[in-house]
Amino acid sequence: MRVLIRADASPAIGSGHVARCLTLARALRAQGANVAFACRRLPGHRLADLQAEGFQVFELPAVYAGEQPGAGIEAALPWQADIAALATVLGEQSCFDWVLVDHYGLDHQWQRAARQWAPRIAAIDDLANRRHAVDLLLDQNFSGTAEAYAGLHDDTCRTLFGPRFALLREAFQRPARVILPRARRVLVNFGGFDAARQTHKAMLALAQLPELDVDFVAGNENPDWQAMQMLAVTRPNWRLHGYVADFAGLLGAADLCLGAGGGTSWERAALGVPSVCVSVAANQEANARLLAEAGAHLYLGRCEEVSVEQLRQALGLLVENPGLRHCLAERGRELVDGLGVQRVAAALFCAVLRWRPASFADARLLFEGRNAEAVRRWSRQSEPTGWQEHVQWLTGALGDPERLLLIAELLDGPVGMLRYDRQGEVAEVSIYLFAGRFGQGWGRALLEQGEGHLMRHWPEVKRLRAQVLAQNQVSLALFRGAGYEQGACEFTRVLKESLDD
């Protein structure tokens, strides 16, 4: 699978768009995808960082004709100029499976034009204020809901909404730090650029709490860098970082954090780090407020309305209150499990998922899959199956005209197995995923795509059913989400009279 990502970084835009796309790109590449980036050469661009990680980069101009100088982060780009520039740099390399755009300045017009390079378009958004013409739409924020995006995308668009899809690196999947009776270590981070100049304000507040160990991560392009260096050098328990190789480790070592309301909100939540949040951009406000209402952090408001004294009071409150810190940490980890990037990658890979009938060569694969503890736990037959018993079953299953065994796979290996057992116009479906594929959204993808194969194989089937143990909440939610109606003991789904190939 080939993917082209269109995103930019600059002091005005911030580094978050490129950062989260880079996280997704790593996950896609790990599963066999070829990923390239198209970025403008703006001040503070991340082109060298992307190239250093081995991604192909297409450089776009820093300035377009007709572009308003000094326009805000949400200002529309001259989309025709961007498409023309992209066509120039792509040249012959213009065949992708997906084009993914993460940019507030590019809307449905750009997305439609970008279909000349890929049959599928995806977008990452946070604002819910413009029309999209895409096949997949992601908003990882609490404020991203079906209601917020009503009328802003086509009915055929697949939507991924909420922190379940937060794009976090694997490094943020680690045990939560123990909540101490009194906080000792604080991390301050307002993004890679901090154009809002909140790090310096935080220093002034924390100067009044001299007993704390503090790490400030600001980036040496911060407009207050020299002033912050002068403050930090006089305090041996303060550390000012222009770059941190292991940000997840530094964040995970903090007893509490002060930061913005962007993508690091999910990093703090996933690690269970209790936090004070200040929004530094309009697109962060709704999400920061909703996270506070959910009990995941303390939100003080927009940066221009938050004083040094308010910062000091909020930090002092958390330092002295282990109960409050514990509640914030627990709620954050409930909301964000750190597997969002795998779910988004799975949604993109669904478009290139390959299907084939099972054969006897799959005996070992199916044997290990069926006997995996995560599968047996919810099976009607929870005891392990012996090898000879399994071989006998598979031999019979492959020769049974009323049974269909399908295996879904990607370039990096098999994903899962679907089994259909037909009785007239009714077929019973069974499903399990293979090791390493759990919790990434593959179950629903297999159920949805498997129906097409079933209907081509047995066009006379009109209804599907599935039996699920009452305590298996994951499978119950899976079949509900796939359109099955729950009865007393089983799920059923009525199929259309005909299904296009």
Evaluate if residue 501 carries a pLDDT over 60. no
Q: What three-state secondary structure class fits 337?
A: coil
According to the model, what pLDDT value does residue 245 have?
86
What is the CA angle 408-410-411, rounded to 5?
A: 145
Evaluate if residue 416 carries a pLDDT over 70. yes
CB 143 within 8 A of CB 115: no
CB 39 within 8 A of CB 70: no
Which pLDDT tens digit goes with each residue over 335-345? Answer: 998 889 988 99
Q: How far apart are CA 236 and CA 385, in angstroms?
A: 62
CB 57 within 8 A of CB 86: no
Q: How far apart are CA 313 and CA 292, in angstroms?
A: 17
CB 135 within 8 A of CB 145: no
According to the model, what pLDDT value does residue 494 have?
84
Torsion angle defined by CA atoms of residues 44, 49, 55 and 56, in that order, rounded to the nearest 10 degrees: 40
Which pLDDT tens digit goes with each residue over 165-196? Answer: 999 998 998 888 899 999 999 999 998 778 88
Evaluate if residue 83 carries a pLDDT over 60. yes
CB 479 within 8 A of CB 468: yes
Q: Which range, of 17-21, 69-73, 169-173, 326-330, averages the lowest pLDDT?
A: 69-73
According to the model, what pLDDT value does residue 74 have?
75
> In 34-106, where does DSSP find H-type helix?
47-52, 79-90
Evaluate if residue 6 carries a pLDDT over 90. yes
Q: Which range, of 191-200, 246-255, 282-291, averages the lowest pLDDT?
A: 191-200
Which residue has tokens 């379940």?
164
Q: Which residues contact 69 (CB under 8 A, 6 or more apart)?
A: none
DSSP state of 114: G
Q: Which domains does the chain have, with CATH numbers?
A: 2-168 (3.40.50.11190), 171-335 (3.40.50.2000), 353-494 (3.40.630.30)
Highest mean pLDDT among 279-283, 366-370, 437-441: 366-370
Which pLDDT tens digit goes with each residue over 27-54? Answer: 999 888 899 999 999 988 889 999 999 9
Q: Write down the mean pLDDT value for the chain.
A: 90
Structural tokens at position 127 = 């604002």
In 10 A of CB 59, how many CB atoms? Answer: 14
DSSP state of 118: -
Which pLDDT tens digit goes with each residue over 204-229? Answer: 999 999 999 999 998 777 888 999 99
pLDDT > 70: what percent of the chain? 97
Q: How far apart are CA 23 and CA 339, in angstroms?
A: 12
Mean pLDDT of 388-401: 94
pLDDT category at 65 given cuts 50, 70, 90 is confident
According to the model, what pLDDT value does residue 498 have?
44
pLDDT category at 496 given cuts 50, 70, 90 is low
Structural tokens at position 166 = 């937060």
Which pLDDT tens digit goes with each residue over 452-495? Answer: 889 999 999 999 998 888 788 888 888 887 788 887 657 788 88
